[in-house]
Amino acid sequence: MTESAANGATPPQPQQGTAQIALQKIYVKDASFEAPSAPAIFQEDGQSNLQLNMSQKVGAVGENVYEVVLTITLTCTLGDKTAYLAEVQQAGIFGLNGFDPRVLEGVLATYCPNVLFPYARQAISDMVQNGGFAPYFLQPINFDQIYAEQLRRRGDQAQQGAAAEAPAVGSA
């Protein structure tokens, strides 16, 4: 018997219409590591150049259930040679109920990748180190800021589109 039932109080029930998030599964959808210039690259001297690319994709799996895939690609070059390329598609299944469409978009663009990012960061770090290279630690990413920037750009594009469609006002 639970404590709240023992003292006569009923446990709180979710209110109808309240928003709920349920993380159902986290998994690696795809992962790859390539070291095309190995083993010669281990003898090379010089400054390495790192390029990080990130994207995310959202797909509906069922009613109020979404798959979010965070893709991170890290490419390391030394001179004109590729030392390594590490890529992971970290995915999660999220049940999202009770959100209006605008808020739902924000949750899928910010909360979900924030949940997935630590797993993707660990996968990239492990692949790079297991490939014989110095560990690489991805810095935290502010998905809220990225989403805010996307909204700002959309607003700018809509404003430019409206200005282009507005009839020119001239004097006769």
In a domain, 140, yes or no: no
Q: What is the pLDDT of residue 18?
A: 87
In a domain, 48, yes or no: yes
In a domain, 172, yes or no: no
- The structure tokens listed for 69 are 């895939």
What CA–CA distance (Å, rounded) separates 6 from 122? 44
Q: What is the pLDDT of residue 4?
A: 42
In a domain, 126, yes or no: yes
Nearest alpha carbon to residue 48 among 77, 71, 24, 73 = 77
In a domain, 5, yes or no: no
Q: What is the pLDDT of residue 158?
A: 76
Its domain, for residue 40, covers 18-133
pLDDT mean for each 10 residues of the chain (172 residues):
46 61 97 96 92 96 97 96 97 96 95 97 97 92 94 83 60 44
Q: What is the pLDDT of residue 163?
A: 65
